[in-house]
Amino acid sequence: MASVRTQKEIRQRAPIWLVALLVTNLVIMAVDARDADGKHKMLRIWTQAFASPIQSASSKASGATTGFFQQIWNFRSTAQQNEQLKERLTQVEQELNTARQATTENERLKALLNLNETLDIRSVPARVIARDPSVWFNTITINRGSSSGVEPNMPVVTGGGIVGRVITVSPWASQVMLITDEKAGAGAVVGQLGQSGALGSVKGRADLGVALIEMRYVSGLEKVEVGDSVMTTGQDGIYPPGLNVGRVVDVKNGTATQAHQILIQPGAQLDHLEEVAVLLYHPPPRSVPEQTPQNAERPRR
């Protein structure tokens, strides 16, 4: 009888618990939505701080697991061949894969190093340790945080081009919003900075995924062609000028009153990111124009 009453009580109280938990979630959501700059996201920062060692370990383990399954597959496909030959082949394949990986990594790191020298901006090399656990967003987590000097809104790049900007920083890890996100954006120019007037802004679009980004507000009078390179202008207050964004892959020409519709393939391989660099870049402070015009009459005291 007692257990029946308990069940009945549970059934009666369930809506109250539901409302309480929903309201709690709603309050957290409202606070998080208000704090757009991400400096006070304590819950996010601490979850990241605890999750980053696990994500880092799983990132390493995933490479090993993939290799393991690859080996099993290789073993099955060559099962009828000579045992010694197969072992030798597997060894050679492993060595070759390791060498290839080392070469590719070497090239990527060289590109990052070159970028560092070209830009003359201090940078922190970082490894991608996780991707967004929900399917709805395109963020990545890197293994560098505030202890390495990383701050919110710092640009993240690879040798190929810009990747995105840091949105949340915990002591040992940071979350990066990719340039393909709808909320991400960068001031850009088609062609060389200072030579071209095709200025606009690039941002992601949900239906384009991570393969393409859109460039908006480029005057229809400017000449834009497929294959033109796109560079950052530095006017967004996040990315330094002169960084590669990508290459134009599609243009729908505008008119004198209508802007071009431009699609860009990002220079950085955003779906295969492994190593990136966080630029410890602080944009120059913007000069605030004086609010009152010079010829305006000032109130007399």
Q: Within a 10 A sphere around the Cβ of 74, how many other Cβ atoms?
A: 15
List Cα–Cα distances, 275 to 109, 110, 144, 185, 284, in angstroms.
8, 11, 11, 22, 27
Q: Which CB sits closer to other proteins, 136 or 293?
A: 136
- 214-243 residues in contact with other proteins (CB under 8 A) are none
- Tell me how far apart the 2 most distant CA atoms of the chain are, in Å: 100
Q: Residue 141 interacts with other proteins (CB under 8 A)? A: yes
**Min dist. Cβ of residue 222 to other proteins (A):** 29
Q: Which CB sits closer to other proteins, 181 or 228?
A: 181
- 7-36 residues in contact with other proteins (CB under 8 A) are 10-11, 13-15, 17-18, 21-22, 24-30, 32-33
Among 8, 37, 39, 43, binds other proteins (CB under 8 A): 43
Residues sharing a CB contact under 8 Å with residue 128, sequence separation 6 or more, in sequence order? 59, 140, 141, 142, 273, 274, 275, 276
**Min dist. Cβ of residue 53 to other proteins (A):** 11
Q: Which residues, listed in sequence order, are joined to residue 278 by a DSSP beta bridge?
A: 124, 156
**Min dist. Cβ of residue 189 to other proteins (A):** 25
Q: Residue 146 interacts with other proteins (CB under 8 A)? A: no
Among 112, 130, 162, 279, binds other proteins (CB under 8 A): 130
Cα–Cα distance for residue pair 15/239, rounded to 1 Å? 49
φ and ψ at residue 143, rounded to 5 degrees: -90, 30
Q: What is the DSSP string of 219-275?
A: -TTS---TT-EEEE-STTSSSPTT-EEEEEEEEE---SSS--EEEEEESS-GGG--E
Instruction: Give the per-residue contact string, 50-69, with other proteins (x = CB under 8 A; - = no).
Output: -x--xx--xx-xx--xx---
**Min dist. Cβ of residue 62 to other proteins (A):** 4
Q: Interface with other proteins by CB under 8 A: which residues?
A: 10-11, 13-15, 17-18, 21-22, 24-30, 32-33, 41, 43-44, 47-48, 51, 54-55, 58-59, 61-62, 65-66, 130-139, 141, 167, 175, 177-178, 180-183, 204, 206-207, 209, 271
